Amino acid sequence: MLNVKDLRAGYGQVEALRSVDMEVKKGEIVCLIGNNGAGKTTTLMSISGIVKQRSGTILFNGENIIGLPPHKIVAKGISQVPEGRRIFPTLTVEENLRTGAFLKPKLPKEKYEAVYDLFPRLKERRRQLGGSMSGGEQQMLAIGRAIINDPLLLMLDEPSLGLAPQIIDSIFDAIVTLRNGGLTVLLIEQNANLALEISDRAYVMELGRVALSGHSQELTNNNSIQEIYLGRKGTPQPEDDRVNT
Ligand SMILES: Nc1ncnc2c1ncn2[C@@H]1O[C@H](COP(=O)(O)OP(=O)(O)OP(=O)(O)O)[C@@H](O)[C@H]1O
Ligand SMILES: [Mg+2]
C-alpha cells in the first residue's frame, strides 16, 4: 500500500532523514521505533506532505504522492494523528470530529456513531470542549477525528505519550479493532515493548536511517533490540560471562 524509497528530508541545515526505505502492506500494523531525534516524526510528516522531502519516492497504492499538498494526500486516504494530539481546545468534541471530514460537505450521523462505538467516552462528552478533556480522552478524540473520513492508511505519532497504562491499553485495543475492520496502520511508538506487541512488523530508526527491520516477533527475540530498546539483557550466550551472575 505504502512504499517509501530513498526518502531524504530535513530542516535548513539539518538532515533529518538520510535515505529511508520502508513499506506498509494492506492490513498490517507497522511500527516505527527509535530514540528521540531519530527521524520518526519527520518520516510521517513527509508522507503526509507537511514536511517537503529533498528526494526519493513515496508510492501510495502505486501512485507517487511526493509533492502533493497535504489536503490532496488526505483525499487519497492517508490520515494522521499528530504528535501531541493537536485537537482544537475551544471546539466541542463533536465539532472537533467534524474538522476531520473537512473534505466532505455533509457528514452522515453514522460516521459519528462509528467513532462513538469505538470510544463510548466521546459520546458522553460530545458537547464538552476539547480542551477540557483528559489526555487520554484527547487522544481518543484525535484518533476519532483522523478516522471519521474513512482513511485507508492511519498514521499515529506516539499516541501513548504521557498516558496511564490503562488508557494506553484501551487506545491500543482500539487500534487493533480498527485494523481488524480493514484499516492499515503506521504507528510511531517509543516504547518498543508496546510497539512490538501490537505490530506485525517494525522498523528501528537511528539517526535518520532505518537501522533494522523485520517481523515484530523476530525483533522481540533479537538480542541487541532487547538490550537497547526493551531494557532487558539479551538471551545469555555461552561465552557471555553474565550467564552465571
Ligand atoms: N522544525 C524543525 N526544525 C529543525 N530541525 C528539526 C525540526 N523538527 C525536527 N528537527 C530535527 O530533525 C531530526 C529528526 O526529528 P524528528 O522529530 O523526526 O525525530 P523523532 O524520531 O520523531 O524524535 P522524538 O522521539 O523526539 O519525537 C532531529 O535532529 C530534530 O532535531
Ligand atoms: Mg517524534
**pLDDT tens sequence across 129-154:** 999 999 999 999 999 999 998 999 99
Catalogue the E-assigned strands of 48-207: 53-60, 63-64, 78-81, 153-157, 184-188, 201-206
Instruction: Give yes or no for residue 52 CB within 6 A of ligand 1.
Output: no
Alpha carbons 210 and 46: distance in angstroms, whole number = 15
Q: Which amino acid is at 118?
A: L
pLDDT tier at 101 (50, 70, 90 boundaries)? confident
Judge whether 109 lies within some domain. Answer: yes
In a domain, 194, yes or no: yes
Residue closest to 201 by CA, chosen among 35, 41, 43, 31: 31
For ligand 1, whether the C-beta of 199 sits within 6 Å is no
Instruction: Specify if 1 maps to a domain.
Output: no
3-state secondary structure of 184: strand
**For 116, left (φ over 0), alpha (ψ -120 to 50), or beta?**
alpha
Q: pLDDT per residue over 8-25, tens digit each?
A: 999 998 999 999 999 999
Pocket test residue of 14, 31, 85, 205 for ligand 1, highest count of atoms within 8 A of CB: 14
Q: How far is the CA of 214 from the centre of ligand 2 (A)?
A: 21
Which CATH number fits the domain that encloses residue 38? 3.40.50.300
What are the two backbone dihedrals, phi and then psi, of residue 155, each rounded to the nearest 5 degrees?
A: -115, 130
In a domain, residue 133? The reply is yes
Which ligand number lies closest to the CA of residue 37?
A: 1
Position 140 scores a pLDDT of: 96
How many structural domains are present in the chain? Answer: 1
188-245 tens-digit pLDDT: 998 888 899 999 999 999 999 999 999 999 988 887 777 777 665 545 545 544 444 4
State the average pLDDT over residues 104-127. Answer: 91
Round the average pLDDT of the chain to a whole number and report it: 90
pLDDT score, position 85: 86
Going by CA atoms, what residue is nearest to atom 28 of ligand 1? 37
Query: Which pLDDT score is estimated for 115?
Result: 95
Per-residue confidence (pLDDT) for residue 230, from 0 to 100: 66
Residue that wins the pLDDT comparison between 102 and 81: 81
Ligand 1, closest atom to CA 188? 22
Number of H helices, E strands in the chain: 10, 10
245 Cβ contact partners less than 8 Å away, ≥ 6 residues apart: none
Per-residue pLDDT band for 107 (boundaries 50, 70, 90) equals: confident
- Report which ligand 1 atom has the smallest distance to the Cα of 34: 21
pLDDT tens track for 56-88: 999 999 999 999 999 999 999 999 999 888 999
- Say if 140 falls within a structural domain: yes
pLDDT given for residue 231 in this prediction: 63
pLDDT of 232 reads 59
Contacts for 130 with CB less than 8 Å, ≥ 6 apart: 87, 88, 89, 90, 91, 92, 93, 96, 138, 141
Q: What is the pLDDT of residue 225?
A: 75
What's the confidence (pLDDT) of residue 192? 87
Q: Which residues surround ligand 2, an ion (CB under 5 A)?
A: 40-41
pLDDT at 33 over 90: yes
- For ligand 1, atom 17: residue with the closest CA: 41
Q: Which grid cell sits at 174?
A: 482500539
Residue 44 CA, ligand 2 centroid: distance in Å: 9
Q: What is the pLDDT of residue 240?
A: 46
Residue 234 lies in a domain: no
Domain that holds residue 82: 25-51+69-199
Atom in ligand 1 nearest the alpha carbon of residue 158: 27
- Does residue 11 belong to any structural domain of this protein? no
Counted residue by residue, the chain has a size of 245
- Residue 83 CA: nearest ligand 1 atom is 27
Mean pLDDT calculated for residue range 168-172: 94
Residue 39 inside a domain? The answer is yes
pLDDT at 241: 47
86-114: average pLDDT: 89
